[in-house]
Structure 1
Amino acid sequence: MKLIIAIVQDNDASALINTLTDLGFKVTKLATTGGFLKAGNTTLLVGVEAEKVDEVISQIDKVCKTRNQVVTTPSPVAGSTGIYVPYPMEVEVGGANIFVVDVDKFIKI
Structure 2
Amino acid sequence: MKLVIAIVHDDDVHALLDDLTANQFRVTKLATTGGFLKSGNTTILVGVDDDKVDEVISSIKDNCESREQIATSPAPVSGATGVFIPYPIEVRVGGATVFVVDVEKYAKL
Tell me which interval the TM-score lies in, with the shorter structure as reference length: over 0.9
1:82-109: per-residue Cα shift (whole Å, max 9, x none)? Answer: 3211000000000000000000000001
Aligned-residue offset at 1:74 = 4.6
In the aligned structure 1, how far is the partner of 2:28 from the partner of 2:75?
38
| Partner in structure 2 of residue 99 of structure 1 | 99
Amino acid in the other structure paired with 2:92: E
- Give the TM-score normalised by structure 2: 0.93
More strand by share: 1
Aligned to 2:64: 64
Q: What RMSD, in angstroms, separates the aligned Cα atoms of the two structures?
A: 1.3
Which 4+ residue blocks in structure 1 deviate beyond 4 angstroms? none
| Inter-CA distance 72–28: structure 2 relative to 1 (3 Å threshold) | same
Distance 1:68 1:104, change over 3 A: same
Count the aligned residue pairs.
106
Aligned to 1:48: 48
Gaps (5+ residues) in structure 2?
none
Alignment identity in percent?
62
Q: Is the 8 A contact 1:75 1:87 kept in 2?
A: no
Q: What's 1:18 paired with?
A: 18
